[in-house]
Amino acid sequence: MKGRLAVFNTLTGEKEPFTTLRKGKVTMFACGPTVQDYMHLGHARTYVFYDVVARYLKHLGNEVNFVINITDVDERITQEAEGKGEDPLGYAALYSRRFIEDMASIGADSVCRFEPVSGHVDRMIELVGRLVEKGYAYSVDGWVYFDVSKFPAFGRLSHQSRGELSLRPLELSLRKRGLLDFALWRPETLVEGRWDSPWGRGSPGWHIQDVAVTFELLGEQYDLHGGAYELIYPHHEAEIAEAEALTGKAPFVRHWVHTRLLNMGGRKMSKSVGNVMTVRDAMKRYTQGQLRFFLLGHHYRRDMDLRGLGSAARRFSRLRQAALKAARESPVSGGGRDAGLMDRFRDAMDDDFDTPLALEAIEDGLTSLAGRKGSRAAGILSSVKAAGYILGVDFFA
């Protein structure tokens, strides 16, 4: 695909024309949750955004294969489940189902596949074995580590020099050869290891999970990788090292796209801070349209604060009333659209998915309807409907 769409790439630090490996086909992936708890609005911000990315890429005529993984293999899940006297696998399965339900309730329905990583452990063992064979990894006491000194491009995604990286050592352990080396395989310490490997019973490291899933479902290279920006280092940096060391092909991913935070009272919404609003709680008080209107009312590369939710919800309701009233007076006849509105909408979206400006175009269209009837009004309404569909914000529901 070659169009006008420009997307900010974390890897280069620049807005670049959006291109794909295969014409008309987009392969995209976003890091999914570790399923140990309910989804909160911070996660919802991320997933609603990538849902809109997928919807817009489809609107531009692409076939979009969008995969989200589900981390159902993790010590935190085991701890949480055992603390409650439950079986970790059953616990993870329950929260996976809840995650998929919550994704449906926020309208993130462009995801083609939610993929539990536990089904790919054999592939992970094979990949780790190949990294050892190729000299990029070493095993010690049941652990396997990636040898970062063998991969000079480490730090490129997070724009850190070797000196800066040395101040942020990973996974402190005396077993490691280098401070930045990270685990590819670990002997299970909390529970009996679930998988046999050439290095003994254990479980895969976190970063290799995404690589195994995407190699399988999207190929060894693909178009767009998303996730919250705090995953850039070390998680995504490590994915690049693993994948490019395995294949010798760069770039592993063409476009690295990261969302910023949703804060609550100036602090990041997170379970550890204790300032979390779950999607389920939010959906008791707000509609899907209100929530998406609020979340998309801020550019994805800027932090936002939950304090604006109430007023955004009221603004959405007023716009919806205006849309419904106008639709009664000037039924959409299937006729033409309002070219000006659609151009403004597309210009905004083409500029690194500027959803606040895209919503402003819709809002101005609806405001301009006051006192107007007939085909011009019907054209505006038809455009509002089309643009709203791409954002997953239905002004007529």
* Interface contacts to Zn ion, rule CB under 5 A: 31, 210
Question: How far is the C-alpha of 271 from the C-alpha of 181, rounded, in Å?
Answer: 28
Q: Which is nearer to Zn ion, 210 or 352 (CB)?
A: 210
Chain mean position to CA 287: 22
Phi, psi of 292 (to 5 degrees): -70, -40
Q: Which is nearer to Zn ion, 80 or 210 (CB)?
A: 210
CB of 258 to Zn ion, least distance (A): 12
Contacts 24+ apart (CB under 8 A), 117-121: 117/69, 117/70, 117/71, 117/72, 117/73, 117/204, 117/209, 117/210, 117/212, 117/213, 118/72, 118/73, 118/89, 118/92, 120/209, 120/212, 120/213, 120/216, 121/73, 121/194, 121/195, 121/203, 121/204
DSSP one-letter code for 69: E
CB of 235 to Zn ion, least distance (A): 6
Q: Which is nearer to Zn ion, 210 or 338 (CB)?
A: 210
Phi, psi of 275 (to 5 degrees): -115, 45
CB of 380 to Zn ion, least distance (A): 41
Phi, psi of 7 (to 5 degrees): -130, 135
Q: Which is nearer to Zn ion, 31 or 41 (CB)?
A: 31
CB of 103 to Zn ion, least distance (A): 16
**Residue 270 CB burial class (10 angstroms; 0-12, 13-18, ≥19):** middle
Strand 143-146 and strand 25-30: pairing? unpaired
CB of 72 to Zn ion, least distance (A): 13
CB of 56 to Zn ion, least distance (A): 23
3-state secondary structure of 259: strand
Q: Which is nearer to Zn ion, 30 or 264 (CB)?
A: 30
Q: Which is nearer to Zn ion, 115 or 210 (CB)?
A: 210
- Nearest residue to Zn ion by CB is 31
CB of 67 to Zn ion, least distance (A): 11
